[in-house]
Amino acid sequence: MGSDWLQFVAGGLTAGAIYALVALGYSIVYNASHAINFAQGEFVMVGGMAAVALVAAGLPLLLAVPLAVLAAGVVGVLVEKLALEPAQRSGRADVVTLIIITIGVALFLRGLAQVVWGKGIHALPAFSGSEPLALLGATIVPQSLWVLAGTTLAVLGLGWFFGRTLTGKAMRATAHNPLAARLMGIDTRAVMRLSFALAAMLGALGGVLTAPITFTTYDVGVMLGLKGFAAAMLGGLGSFAGAVAGGLLLGLVESLGAGFVSSAYKDAIAFVVILVVLFFLPGGLVGARRSERV
Amino acid sequence: MAILRSIRRALSPLALPLAVALFAAPATAQEPIRIGSFLAVTGPASFLGDPEAKTLEMVVEQLNAQGGVLGRRLQLVHYDSAGDAEKARTFAKRLIEQDRVDVIVGGSTTGETMAVVPLAEQAGLPFVSLAGAVVIVEPVKKWVFKTPHTDRMACDKIFVDMKARGATRAALISGSGGFDKSMRAECLKVAPNHGVQIVADETYGAADTDMTPQLTKIRASNAQAVLNAGFGQGPAIVTRNFRQVGLTLPLYQSHGVASKEYIRLAGEAAEGVRLPAAALLVADLLDAGDAQKPVVTGYRDAYQKRYGSEVSTFGGHAYDGLMLYVHAVKAAGGTDKARVRDALEATRGYVGTGGIVNMSASDHMGLDLSAFRMLEIRNGTWSLVR
């Protein structure tokens, strides 16, 4: 039984790492605009599908992966520039309007992917073989290690970016008080654009890393977007540490729930845990201390 | 009113020739045989409806090029139901009342089919469904027939093969989709008939990406073989996770994954997996003396030449549906609905892509277990288990 336990944890951490990447994307956009970007799941899809298309076009994996992530970044900027900026510039768009626009963007991207890439299911070759590794009785595929390492690096990179660079600090300042930031000479439009690019690239990284394990389709973003959003809420929207904690916790609860209770209620168990947490800590695990003045 | 009257006056010289043209034409040339159809060409079930519609179109063309049936041309009247039962009902009504078709060959999904069954029964119109579930022909409905294999047959075929390999304790893992649920229920129902005990019954969600927890539980059970009732990407993930958690038991998949896509997605992990499938899928592997060989290779070659894409068993169901009707028309000597229905029910020894069809008053599908071939995946492709 000991090895079963480890197996559930290994599966849960892999899934959780992806939820964490998606949740981070939500938090970054939320900080810049106070809007929830419901196209976040579609960025995951764009990353995975673009990588598959590039590999199919004959590019080596080593080149296809960064290109796919960059392509998603470009899509993120375009979404901000073409869909959200005009609305914001009109001056009448409140947060709810922005959220509804992102839902439209999600539908558009999903439809476009169907036309461009078709409705089939695609798999990316594993980065380093698919021979499972045995670890204390549990078995994991090498790709899981890539997922965990990729997520860790992304989180560390984000920490450095927001903590140490001027641009990162400008973004944090904008999140804290947009008006004051603008008065200090920060281009809040550029911050918004950069937020979308970062969010899209994080999502795409998740999509690329998991495409060898879970496959990718035009509608893979729907469920991942939902789970990532749940993870962001669980951890506390806008908090980076919270997003990571929320993602990992959600993945673990799902996996352990399926393993020890019942696989039929896997999703239900996860969502019940979220409801309970939010009932006692409405701000999420990490965001509880922050209060907003109304 | 004055305007209306003047229009009528202006048109009256035309009225007589028009009426003559309308009624005289059918009298001189033979009235075509009208084949009505509604299929899910778009929407979530388009992978069923698309090849079915293409097949009907192709076969109607072929038959007309050969001079039609009993000297009469075939005319296909087709609507896209998008997999929506409500739309299917509306279109079926239109087929019956306005288009006055002689038969309906269609219904990609069980939902659409069941919505149309009462209409066909009421109108007394032969209806050959292309959907899978047992409920379509059980209990038997006077005017309703179907061509595809049922999920119960798939369960039977798999359990027979399991027993032959000495396994009497099986673990079941299935998805949450309609196909998966229906097959799971059928397998649970027929397992005792074969002396097979289901020792684990796990499920996963349609969009789940990791089935290792469920498979770890199966690993801890005393199962001797594993059966995955599923559809789409789920079974491919199950297959990969199955190898990942170190399971070495025989793994069976359903006929729902009988496509090259499954092998491509599951990769090396698919080696040794067995599944029941129609002969169409392995046309080249069939023995030269196999009764189905000429039919399946003929249909496959024609389809691939016409559309440049691979055949699927679903298109084969449409081929069988239309050809069964054509045979019945020939046997009945005309398109009289009641006589064609009786001829359909009396179909014996019709060799189709799905198997050899022997209908009876109590069996409106007419396929037995020999219609399924047990396949094993070896070296990344299908091979026949003999």
Overall average pLDDT of the B108-117 stretch: 91
pLDDT at B365 over 90: yes
Ramachandran angles phi, psi of B3, nearest 5°: -65, -45
- Give the span between the Cα atoms of A120 and A108, in whole angstroms: 18
pLDDT attached to residue A126: 84
Which string of DSSP letters, residue by residue, matches B130-163? ----GGGTSS--TTEEE-SPPHHHHHHHHHHHHH
Residue B357 tokens read as: 């069809």
Q: Do residues B147 and B128 touch, judged by C-beta distance below 8 A? A: yes
Q: SS3 sequence, chain B?
A: CHHHHHHHHHHHHHHHHHHHHHHHHHHHCCCCEEEEEEECCCCCCHHHHHHHHHHHHHHHHHHHHCCCECCECEEEEEEECCCCHHHHHHHHHHHHHCCCCCEEEECCCHHHHHHHHHHHHHHCCCEEECCCCHHHCCCCCCCEEECCCCHHHHHHHHHHHHHHCCCCEEEEEECCCHHHHHHHHHHHHHHHHHCCEEEEEEECCCCCCCCHHHHHHHHHCCCCEEEEECCCCHHHHHHHHHHHCCCCCCEEECHHHCCHHHHHHHHHHHCCCEEEEEHHHHHHHCCCCCCCHHHHHHHHHHHHHHHCCCCCHHHHHHHHHHHHHHHHHHHHCCCCHHHHHHHHHCCCCEECCCCEECCECCECCCCCHHHEEEEEEECCEEEECC
**Residue range B276-317, pLDDT digits in tens:** 988 888 888 888 888 999 999 999 999 999 998 888 888 999
pLDDT attached to residue B7: 55
pLDDT attached to residue A16: 92
Q: Which of A130, A139, A222 sits opposite B268 (nearest CB)?
A: A130
Contacts of B69 (CB under 8 A, 6+ apart): B33, B63, B326, B329, B330
Q: Looking at per-residue confidence, does B262 or B3 come out higher?
A: B262
User: Lowest-confidence range among A277-286, B61-70, B328-337?
Assistant: A277-286
Q: What percent of chain B has pLDDT over 70?
A: 92
Task: Test A130 with B217 for CB contact under 8 angstroms.
Answer: no
Tell whether A1 lies on the interface with B, counting CB pairs under 8 A: yes
Paired residues of B252 in beta bridges: B227, B274
Task: Test B212 with A132 for CB contact under 8 angstroms.
Answer: no
**Positions of E strands within B254-371:** 274-278, 350-351, 356-357
Predicted confidence band of residue A41 (pLDDT cuts 50, 70, 90): very high
**Residue range B49-60, pLDDT digits in tens:** 889 999 999 999
- Tell which of B210, B215, B237, B239 to mutate to test the A interface (max A CBs under 10 Å): B210
Q: Which of B207, B214, B243 sits opposite A258 (nearest CB)?
A: B214
Q: Do residues B225 and B250 touch, judged by C-beta distance below 8 A? A: yes
User: Lowest-confidence range among B17-21, B136-140, B267-271?
Assistant: B17-21
pLDDT at A254 over 50: yes
Residue B372 tokens read as: 């399924």
Q: Which of A141, A220, A258 sits opposite B244 (nearest CB)?
A: A141
pLDDT at B2 over 70: no
- Give the span between the Cα atoms of A155 and A16, in whole angstroms: 13
- Tell which of A214, A219, A223 to mutate to test the B interface (max B CBs under 10 Å): A214
Q: Domain map of chain A by residue range?
A: 2-222
> Residues of A numbered 252-281 whose beta carbons fall under 8 angstroms of chain B's beta carbons: which are they?
255-256, 258-259, 263-264, 266-267
Tell whether A250 lies on the interface with B, counting CB pairs under 8 A: no
Predicted confidence band of residue A292 (pLDDT cuts 50, 70, 90): very low
Residue A77 tokens read as: 């900027």
Overall average pLDDT of the A45-58 stretch: 92
Q: Looking at per-residue confidence, does A273 or A107 come out higher?
A: A107
Q: What percent of chain A has pLDDT over 90?
A: 38
Task: Quote the mean pLDDT of chain B.
Answer: 88
- CB contacts < 8 Å between A and B, how many? 85
Considering only CB atoms, which residues of chain B are within 8 Å of chain A? Answer: 46-47, 202-205, 207-210, 212-214, 216-217, 219-220, 232-233, 236-237, 240, 243-246, 261, 264-265, 267-269
Overall average pLDDT of the A145-166 stretch: 92
**Residue range A227-253, pLDDT digits in tens:** 899 899 888 888 888 899 999 999 999
Q: Which of B46, B245, B269 sits opposite A7 (nearest CB)?
A: B245
Overall average pLDDT of the B116-122 stretch: 94
Predicted confidence band of residue B253 (pLDDT cuts 50, 70, 90): very high
Domains and CATH numbers, chain B: 33-150+293-371 (3.40.50.2300), 152-283 (3.40.50.2300)
Predicted confidence band of residue B190 (pLDDT cuts 50, 70, 90): very high
pLDDT attached to residue A3: 67
pLDDT attached to residue B267: 85
Strand order in the sheet with B225-229: B197-203, B169-174, B225-229, B251-253, B274-278, B372-378, B381-384
CA of A222, closest CA in chain B: separation in Å?
9
